[in-house]
A and B are shown apart, each in its own frame.
Chain A
Amino acid sequence: MKKLITIASGVLLLNLSVLAQGTISFQNVGPAFSAQIKDVAGNFIGAGAAVTIELLAGTTATVGAFTPAVTTSLWSGNGWFNVGQSPVALSSFAGGSHPFFQVRAWDNSGGVNSYAAALAAGKATGISAVWQLQDGGGLSGLGNPSAVPPTTAPPLFGMTGFQMVIPEPSTIALGLLGAAAFLFRRRK
Chain B
Amino acid sequence: MRTKTLLLTAVLSAAGLASSLSLAQGAVYSVNAVGYVNLPLPVGLSLICNPLKGSTGNDLNTILPLTDADVGATIYTYNGSAFVSTTYLGTSIGWTPNNSVAPGQGMFISLGAAKTLTFVGEVPQGTDSNIHMNNGLSLVASPVPQSSALDTMLFPADVGDTVYFYRGGSYASSTFLGPGIGWTPAAVPGVGEGFWVSRANAADWNRNFSVNN
Contacts and interface: CB of A to CB of B under 8 A. Distances in A.
A172 B200 CA distance: 42
13 contacts: A29-B160, A31-B158, A31-B160, A33-B160, A34-B159, A80-B177, A83-B175, A83-B177, A84-B172, A84-B184, A139-B198, A149-B166, A154-B198
Contact of A86 (B110, B159, B170, B184): B170
Nearest to A135: B136
A86 B160 contact: no
A137 B137 contact: yes
A25 B136 contact: no
A78 interface: yes
Interface of B: 45, 47, 76, 83, 108, 110, 135-138, 158-162, 164, 166, 170-175, 177-178, 181, 184-185, 196, 198-201
Given A27-B175, A76-B177, A84-B173, A150 B198 contact: no
A67 B178 CA distance: 35
A152 B198 contact: yes
Contacts of A30: 160, 162, 175, 198
Interface string A68-101: 0000000011101001101100000000000000
Given A84-B173, A84-B174, A149-B108, A32 B200 contact: yes
B200 A137 contact: yes
The size class of the interface chain A forms with chain B is 20 to 34
A88 to B, nearest CB: 12
Given A78-B177, A83-B175, 15 more contacts: A27-B175, A29-B160, A30-B175, A31-B135, A34-B160, A84-B172, A84-B184, A84-B185, A86-B170, A139-B198, A145-B170, A148-B76, A149-B47, A149-B83, A152-B171
Determine the main DSSP class of B at the interface with A.
Answer: strand
A150 B166 contact: yes
Interface in A103-159: 137-139, 143, 145, 148-150, 152-155
B42 to A, nearest CB: 15
Interface string A21-55: 00101010111111000000000000000000000
Contacts of B108: 149
A153 B166 CA distance: 12
Contacts of B45: 148-150
A36 to B, nearest CB: 11
B161 A31 contact: yes
Contacts of A83: 175, 177, 184
A154 B135 CA distance: 15
Contacts of A80: 177
A163 to B, nearest CB: 20
A33 B178 CA distance: 13
A23 B185 CA distance: 19
Cβ-closest 8 pairs across A and B: A138-B137, A138-B136, A137-B198, A32-B200, A31-B200, A149-B108, A84-B185, A83-B184
